[in-house]
Amino acid sequence: MTLKRFLEKGQKGYDLTRATHRVFLSEDEESLANHIKALDSCFHGLDREKCRILAFDYAKANNINTPPNWTKDGMAGLDWFSGFMQRNKLSIRKPEATSLARQTAFNKVTVATFFDKLSDIMSRFKFAPQDIYNLDETGITTVQVSGKVVSTTGKKQVGSTSSRERGELITMCCAISASGSHIPPFYIFLRVFMKQDFMNGCAPGAKGVADRTGYMNTELFAYEYLPFFISNVRCSKDKPVLLVLDNHCSHVSLQAINVCRNSGIHLLTLPPHTSHKLQPLDRCVFGNGDGNGRLDEI
């Protein structure tokens, strides 16, 4: 019997021998793992070396016998760390830079206030699922990201034909209802003048505008996008809709509020710096579900 088959069968004798050579008891190791997970949830995750140092300090503080190489290096061994990661379902991940404002904004009080307002407006107007919309902008590129292809081993450069080597970033504004339906996308091109050629191949009913900045601003949202939204949703004061969106300055301007008030659109903004958790489009549609609010291709 090979060692691999012996391990796969999970022999009790081997399991008992392995357990006797563990540095920490199961409850001690679980406590250490929970502490590392708690630090990660607070945006203060530890890297590989700091975790090993923490394990050695934890053993030393609790008078737990450790292998000689732990004392020599001042940290836990790599073999122990690898097993510790597997036993506690941990992995090495690359963190995203997160501002202090975003860390502190998502809390129980803020989220509860938002859902209280949502509950209040739903009880007053009794919106149906098809009358509740979520709106957000994202960035897309004009050049699609190529997938992997079969090529010769050892070849230094592998190419794929595309319209251009580097694409340009375009802002796309989308609105999706709670029933699953959506209105056509709205594009903002980084141009001074709009040309109809920019819309070749776009979804039916989509609209595009040109702007020097290439981003959504007060004038575009109030006088270009909202009329486009109203014409597709066909809302009015007698048939109001609920629009949930972030509190970007272009979304909550006086001009936008006046247009919404005259058209039967009730605005509900998400709390600041919480879109990575509360924005449905960020969580479920844009990107790969990681909440980064950006698409890699059209």
Q: For residue range 195-222, what is the model confidence (pLDDT) as tens digits? A: 888 888 888 999 999 999 889 999 999 9
Residues 117-124 have a mean pLDDT of 94
Residues 136, 74, single domain; the answer is no
Output the pLDDT for position 7.
53
Cα–Cα distance between 159 and 230 in angstroms, integer?
A: 44
pLDDT tens digits, residue range 11-45?
444 444 455 567 898 899 999 999 999 888 877 88
pLDDT tens digits, residue range 242-257?
999 998 889 989 999 9
Output the pLDDT for position 13.
45
Enter the pTM of the model: 0.66
- 24 within a domain of the structure (yes/no): yes
Q: Which domain holds residue 25?
A: 20-87
Output the pLDDT for position 166.
66
Least confident of 5-9, 64-68, 92-96, 139-143: 5-9
pLDDT tens digits, residue range 147-188?
777 877 877 777 776 656 566 788 999 999 999 999 999 999
- Could you tell me which of 234, 240, 244, 298 has the C-alpha nearest to residue 267? 244
Q: What angle do CA 146, 151, 157 make, to 5 degrees?
A: 70
CATH of the domain at 141: 3.30.420.10
Residues 193, 123, single domain; the answer is yes
Residues 70, 179, single domain; the answer is no
The pLDDT confidence band at residue 236, using thresholds 50, 70 and 90, is very high
**For the chain, how many structural domains are there in total?**
2
Decide: 202 and 186 in contact? Cβ < 8 Å: no
Helix (H) / strand (E) containing 219: helix 218-220
Q: Which of 87, 115, 132 delimits the end of a domain?
A: 87
The pLDDT confidence band at residue 117, using thresholds 50, 70 and 90, is very high
Cα–Cα distance between 245 and 266 in angstroms, integer?
A: 11
Helix (H) / strand (E) containing 34: helix 26-41
Candidate ranges 226-230, 247-251, 294-298; pick with highest mean pLDDT: 226-230
Cα–Cα distance between 226 and 228 in angstroms, integer?
A: 5
Cα–Cα distance between 205 and 233 in angstroms, integer?
A: 13
Residues 47, 126, single domain; the answer is no
Residues 73, 204, single domain; the answer is no
Residues 79, 133, single domain; the answer is no
Residues 120, 239, single domain; the answer is yes
Average pLDDT, the chain: 84
- 255 within a domain of the structure (yes/no): yes
Residues 180, 234, single domain; the answer is yes
Residues pairing with 245 in the sheet = 269
Q: Phi, psi at residue 225, to the nearest 5°?
A: -75, -45
Residues 233-238 have a mean pLDDT of 93
Output the pLDDT for position 16.
42
Decide: 80 and 39 in contact? Cβ < 8 Å: no
Residues 255-273 have a mean pLDDT of 93
